[in-house]
Amino acid sequence: MVNSDGLLLGKHTPVVEVYSPEILYPIPRSIARQGLGIVNELPFFGVDLWHAYELSWLDGTGKPVSRVGRFTVPATSPCIVESKSFKLYINSLNNTRFENDSAVKKCIERDIGAAAGETVSLELFEVDDPSLSGKPLSGINLDRCEPGTTAAEPDAGLLSVHAGTVTEEQLYSHLLRSLCPVTGQPDWATLWLHYRGAGIDHDALLAYIISYRQHQEYHEQCVERMFLDITASCQPEFLHIQAFYTRRGGLDINPFRSTSSSTRALPRLNRQ
């Protein structure tokens, strides 16, 4: 259980008007990972991509600057950063002067990295940069499948494979919903995966995805649970999985986990 004494989720908090890196609230990844049986070496590689759409500060003359930030947080970092504290920290920069983008980038990377416990990278984009346009997903849309009866909680037993087959395919669904473990509010996402292994039954996979609908867990933890369950089910030669959560409070989170250290996370979707 996370010590919630300093947790800001679910609490009324005033607007933070001055630079406040101390407001960032780390949550150890080890707590949830121990519940999944991950104790020592991680069974995956990956990152958490965050997009911050309300990133603003003052330039050297006092004129406001607006950017979109893309943060890359390694899955090997000891902690995730609680999202409300992340938002409040970003807002605390609004009235702080920086000489240039490089100076603010250095400051933010230092502060988020200190909270996460590992080096974090930040890319800054002009708000109308075309590279931020959402990209379509490759693969088969599962949303027309018939999942049948679904469970109230995620259960690896819902998954099934076509025995004796070896399949490589990309699949996705826009029907992923999970709940914030603190407030119980819904978090909406698209789930995408690419694997090669025993062919996964599509109806069963959609039933499994829908079973997260009342499940309370952080985004990153949901994706790691899915990675382990799907791995156990189809014993893949490789597996890449990513969830694209829609934004809340000007932030979206996109956890990516993979069997490969060289495979890169996908960019944002139009839905976000």
d(CA 62, CA 47): 35
Q: Where are the alpha helices (DSSP H) in 92-244?
A: 101-116, 202-210, 219-234
d(CA 7, CA 108): 20
Q: What are phi and psi of 22, to 5 degrees?
A: -70, -10
Which residues are designated catalytic?
A: 180, 187
Burial of 81 (0-12, 13-18, 19+ CB in 10 A): buried
Long-range pairs, 147-150, Cβ under 8 A, ≥24: 147/203, 147/204, 147/206, 147/207, 147/210, 148/203, 148/207, 149/207, 150/207, 150/210, 150/211, 150/213
d(CA 14, CA 99): 28
Q: What are phi and psi of 199, to 5 degrees?
A: -60, 125
CB 86 within 8 A of CB 253: no
